[in-house]
Amino acid sequence: MAKLPSYLAMHVPLLDLGEQYRALGDSIREAINDVLASGRFILGPKVAAFEKAMRAYCNTPHAVGVSSGTDALLAILMALGIERGDAVITTPYTFFATAGCVARIGARPLFADIDAETYNIRPSAIQECIEKNCRMNSNGEWTTKNGEKVRAIVPVHLFGLCCEMEALREITQRYRLVLIEDAAQAIGAEFSFGERIAKAGTMGEVGFFSFYPSKNLGAAGDAGMIVCGDEELAQKLRTFREHGMEPRYFHHVIGGNFRLDEIQAAILAVKFPYLEKWAAARRAAADFYSSEFVRVGLTERIATPCEPYRNRGVTNHHVYHQYVIRTPMRDALREHLTKCEVETAIYYPLGLHEQKCFAYLGCKKGDFPEAERAARETLALPIYPEISREAQRYVIDSIAEFYN
């Protein structure tokens, strides 16, 4: 392909929230004004209404609004009594918070490598991690070499694609572990257990979402939500989100201020009815990228996202929080795209096991080869519900130009 003529150049942002706010701005301002007029700013009717809407959407008995995805996981770990002396298995290829929260409550993150195609934690790697690094004590509990009790697995539905939940549920049952779903990036993503279709966040004991502004459902600040099926756990989570206080000013446990505030809940409630439409638009944009990459013959050069559940009778088989390609020439391609004014992002440039703050865990380069390869080779392309086909075509042409 010839070099792109300069008159064709355009700027393509990674994410553009402008159109969403132009369309919904009036309703959002009205919802904020309602809160201001009510004088109820903390855990009032807007939070209760949004929790109710989330319960219905996820088809789950309990939803607890919290201040962020990070605080959701902290509250969950606290409510489950996971603490110093415990270990939690998770992926090394995720946003920092997933393992950061485990470490913050004093437990040890144990990493298991990812699948090369989906980038999600690989169930067989979890099994290897347990069988190789842990042993069963006389109480039938699995412990690490340092004697920490393995308590839970935190799979992350990365980029909007569910992990292999059937296999993960089987593993958690076999090793008697709690399954905590990090669905921060995957609100609305679906997984089918044969006849039964379940939403991300509802397939383990407990799950959580982030409403960070760039997420598929984004607040105008930080916000998060926990969903679970167990009444007692939900009650504990509500207590932990308010400093472990029950009743007011009586503290039986040490929690934190993990409350979702009214203004964020009001904004989220205005945007929530559009979530499915936005997910469909993201999938259509992803389909366009993937089919165009085939058409222009680029699939020898780049790997497009894997869709293992596409034909399993679920609509939201992938909610495309990110559209991530893979190429060994990632850094050079990214440089070229930056010159073409196509914004891209690297999620994530360094596996968590190689982060300086986790040096004390004793992991080394080479321990999780697929996570390391993903960190070297993946690149997120612009995707959002309103992205135009013209902008996508420009991204594709710019990539084609690089390889030609």
Q: Which residue is nearest to ligand PLP (CB)?
A: 69
68 is a site residue for ligand PLP (CB under 6 A): yes
Give the one residue of 60, 91, 94, 344 binding ligand PLP; rule: CB under 6 A. 94
Task: State the DSSP code for 378.
Answer: E
Query: Of the two residues 298 and 324, which places its CB atom closer to ligand PLP in the complex?
Result: 324
Instruction: For residue 379, list its beta bridge partners.
Output: 325
In DSSP notation, 313-347 reads T-S-S---S-EEEE-TTHHHHHHHHHHTTB--B-S
60 is a site residue for ligand PLP (CB under 6 A): no
3-state SS assignment for residue 368: coil
The structure tokens 């553009």 sit at 16
CB of residue 68 vs ligand PLP: minimum separation in angstroms? 3
118 is a site residue for ligand PLP (CB under 6 A): no
Interface stretch with ligand PLP, choices 46-54, 92-100, 195-203, 324-332 (CB under 6 A): 92-100
In DSSP notation, 194-234 reads TTEEEETTSSSSEEEEE--TTSSS--SS--EEEEES-HHHH
Query: Of the two residues 275 and 340, which places its CB atom closer to ligand PLP in the complex?
Result: 275
189 is a site residue for ligand PLP (CB under 6 A): no
Instruction: For residue 225, list its beta bridge partners.
Output: 65, 209
Contact 198, 229 (CB under 8 A): no
Query: Of the two residues 268 and 302, which places its CB atom closer to ligand PLP in the complex?
Result: 268
For the segment 120-159, give every residue that binds ligand PLP (CB under 6 A).
156
222 is a site residue for ligand PLP (CB under 6 A): yes
In DSSP notation, 72-95 reads HHHHHHHHTT--TTEEEEE-SSS-
CB of residue 19 vs ligand PLP: minimum separation in angstroms? 22
212 is a site residue for ligand PLP (CB under 6 A): yes
Q: Read off φ and ψ for residue 109, nearest 5 degrees.
A: -75, 135
Backbone Cα Rg of the chain: 22
CB of residue 198 vs ligand PLP: minimum separation in angstroms? 19
204 is a site residue for ligand PLP (CB under 6 A): no
95 is a site residue for ligand PLP (CB under 6 A): yes
Instruction: For residue 135, list its beta bridge partners.
Output: 143
- The residues of the shown chain that bind ligand PLP, judged by CB under 6 A, are 68-70, 94-95, 97-98, 156, 182, 184-185, 210, 212, 222, 224
